[in-house]
Amino acid sequence: MSIRLDDVNKRIIHALMGDARNTSAPMIAEEVGVSPATIRNRISQLEDAGIIRGYHANVDFDAADEMLTTLYVATAPIEERARLAQQARTITGVVNVREFMAGEENLHVLATGDTIEAVNDVARELTTLGIGIDDEKFLRTEQFQSYQPFGPTETHQQFSDYISLAGGNEVIELTVDDDAPIAGMTLEHADNEGLLEDGLLVVSIERDDSVLTPTGASEVQAGDILTVLSRGGFTDTMLDAFEAAER
């Protein structure tokens, strides 16, 4: 299964990399501007595609029980690297194995134990497998953070999803700002007031996890998530009706 990493998916990954345990779908939805149901669906798609491969606790073994954590920098024959990496994962005390494309030092094995002898046992088992240890380092601390390019930009991007169609048509999903000119108006009224430019069509309105099929009598409310089609593509001013005056 392949999946496109659009802005919504990137923001989901950024949030989960930061703190998956304390980050809920509604929290991400509020930040990104889509519904919680959309976020939950996107997370499932990212997991099914193998992009999000799991959620892991960041454990400080020294703080937990004064355990020792050692990084073994090792070399495995290139043709055997993948198999040996899988076997290394089964050794008691090993918590992480990384493969590298290099011919030398192409395996990094992270292991922990309550004594020097315990971590030395890991080294002996690696050697028995045919993995040559080039260096070993005691790990003092390890820090993680989200991938910043997937995070929010300084300028808020009002639309949360974008699709380009044949014939130059474009579809976006956007959230109506609190002080947007169209907020509180019916679509017919907005059209009569000239707020909706030619070629712009509101395809759906998502509100409180319900999707409404709009008519001229449909009232647009602040916080609504709209799917909007533009025949021929969007211009710089086409979204003004959905945005607050000061952005």
* Average pLDDT of every residue of the chain: 87
Range from 31-35, 69-73, 157-161, 177-181 carrying the lowest mean pLDDT: 157-161
The boundaries of every CATH 3.30.70.1450 domain in the chain are: 159-242
Statement: residue 111 has pLDDT above 90: yes
Query: Is the pTM for the entire model greater than 0.85?
Result: no
Q: What percent of the chain has pLDDT over 90?
A: 50
Longest dimension (CA), the chain: 80
Q: Which of 116, 71, 77 is nearest to 95 (CA)?
A: 71
The tens digit of pLDDT for each residue in 198-240 reads 889 999 999 887 889 999 999 999 989 999 988 877 776 888 8
The boundaries of every CATH 3.30.70.920 domain in the chain are: 61-138
pLDDT of residue 246: 58
**The domain at 159-242 falls in which architecture?**
2-Layer Sandwich (3.30)
**The domain at 61-138 falls in which architecture?**
2-Layer Sandwich (3.30)
Q: Using a CB cutoff of 8 Å and minimum separation of 24, what contacts does 208-211 make? A: 209/35, 209/36, 209/37
Greater confidence, 38 or 190?
Answer: 190
pLDDT band of residue 166 (cuts 50, 70, 90) is low
Q: Which residues pair with 172 in a beta bridge?
A: 162, 228
The boundaries of every CATH 1.10.10.10 domain in the chain are: 7-56
Q: Name which CATH class applies to 7-56.
A: mainly alpha
